[in-house]
Amino acid sequence: MGGINESEKYLLNRHKEHHFTAGEIVRDVIIGVSDGLTVPFALAAGLSGANVSSSIILTAGIAEVAAGAISMGLGGYLAAKSEADHYDRELRREQEEIDTIPDSEAAEVAEILAEYGVEPHEYGPVVNALRKNPQAWLDFMMKFELGLEKPDPKRALQSALTIAIAYVLGGLVPLLPYMLIPVAQKALVASVMVTILALLIFGFAKGYFTGDRPVWSALQTALIGAIASAAAFGMAKAVQG
């Protein structure tokens, strides 16, 4: 190996080959749409089982979508913020170790390189180069010892908005028939058909982007949504009875 850049590139390629990530935005969309399709769908089905009007179901559904979007968005924001805070804590700790026990940290670098099959005569120059470049050394330890990537400072807000918008878009699907059909029982039938179709499409797309079997993912997602809505409908009927 000719230097630190080549070594890091080699290790990064080895590190990534066993992992698949669909991207943080895609992950947030999946979270938002998944809950957005399922929760309002179950709520609308449950209220339909209680024999209330379409207008009441629509009002309750829109209120739930608004509250759910805020809740889910806030959850995404806090999760991303916690991830950034965790990275900062580990960064400070790693920096302190490099400053106070550099020999131990250099030995850890050698161990990491050895785990990737790098020979002693190859990783010696890499260790020396890292010791001369504290920032590169710190980046190396964060990435290959702790497995942490520096988070985007805009990630928390981006995650919150993405999840919230995805939740709203997903939540409007099962409510759409109630906007167009005044009779709740007829709207329920249309809502079931539209939402199951949406769940199948969404499940297929989710499986495609996450590397899972798309057809199985589509069936599984639709089944979960159907069970949730059927349970809500049955409970409403039981309570009413």
Q: How far is residue 164's CA from residue 158's CA, in Å, rounded to a whole number?
A: 10
Count CA atoms within 13 Å of residue 159 on its CB side. Answer: 24
Copy the structure tokens of residue 5. 């850049």
Q: How far is residue 208's CA from residue 225's CA, in Å, rounded to a whole number?
A: 19
Please indicate whether residue 113 or residue 162 has the higher confidence score (pLDDT). Answer: 162
Least trusted range by pLDDT, from 2-16, 34-48, 219-233: 2-16
Burial of 57 (0-12, 13-18, 19+ CB in 10 A): buried
In the predicted structure, residue 114 carries a pLDDT above the cut 80: no
Burial of 91 (0-12, 13-18, 19+ CB in 10 A): middle
pLDDT at 17: 45
Copy the structure tokens of residue 11. 């290790």
Please indicate whether residue 28 or residue 235 has the higher confidence score (pLDDT). Answer: 28
Please indicate whether residue 48 or residue 6 has the higher confidence score (pLDDT). Answer: 48
Contact 236, 50 (CB under 8 A): yes
In the predicted structure, residue 33 carries a pLDDT above the cut 80: yes
| Placement of tokens 């504290």 in the chain | 134
In the predicted structure, residue 19 carries a pLDDT above the cut 50: no
Least trusted range by pLDDT, from 62-71, 91-100, 171-180: 91-100
In the predicted structure, residue 51 carries a pLDDT above the cut 50: yes
Copy the structure tokens of residue 53. 């009007």
DSSP state of 159: H
In the predicted structure, residue 135 carries a pLDDT above the cut 80: yes
Largest Cα separation within the chain, whole Å, is 79
